[in-house]
Structure 1
Amino acid sequence: YKRGTTADFPLAQVVPGFAKGLVGKHQGDRVLIMMPGSDGYDSQGGAPQAGIMKGDSLIFVVDIVAIPLPKATGETVKPVDGLPTVKEVQ
């Protein structure tokens, strides 16, 4: 918040409690995430460089400003005649 800019990161790179706190949330939501150390940095022995010790509970306030959509996956199929088509835009 103090930086005055947003942060962009995949949920695979956050501690489990952070990802759990965002399940079912949407763009525009403000979320309060509170987690025990076991869902934070305990498995890593804490994060002393950030002032987080093993066993510390963590609290985050998160404003979800954007959610990137995943790319389409799978095989291309010919649509049934008369149905709309989908085109992926780069």
Structure 2
Amino acid sequence: MEEFIPSTYNARMMTGLTRIDLRLPDELVKKTDILAKLEYKNRTDVIKSALSEYLRRVETTMQLREKAVESYLEDKLTYNELSVAIGGRMQNR
């Protein structure tokens, strides 16, 4: 017997896209719409680009922090250098 899978599931799997609903401050939406107009894009494309860029930056920051910790554990960085590298406000040890 075949399993019933809703058609929206099939469409989502074929496109690799998921629809989400979110609430944003009015001012952020206004700025997004202006940018979309200037770049000949739609609101969704601007939000996707912004989110992708943000996630890329976060990932890069996390990788740099991991590398700094590894360097500290290998005695290649001092504790104070590690503190600066990860952006913390650690006290001298």
Normalising by structure 1, we get a TM-score of 0.23
Higher strand residue share:
1
Give the structure with the higher percent helix. 2
Where relative contact order (Cα < 8 A, 6+ residues apart) is larger, the structure is 1
TM-score by length of 2: 0.22
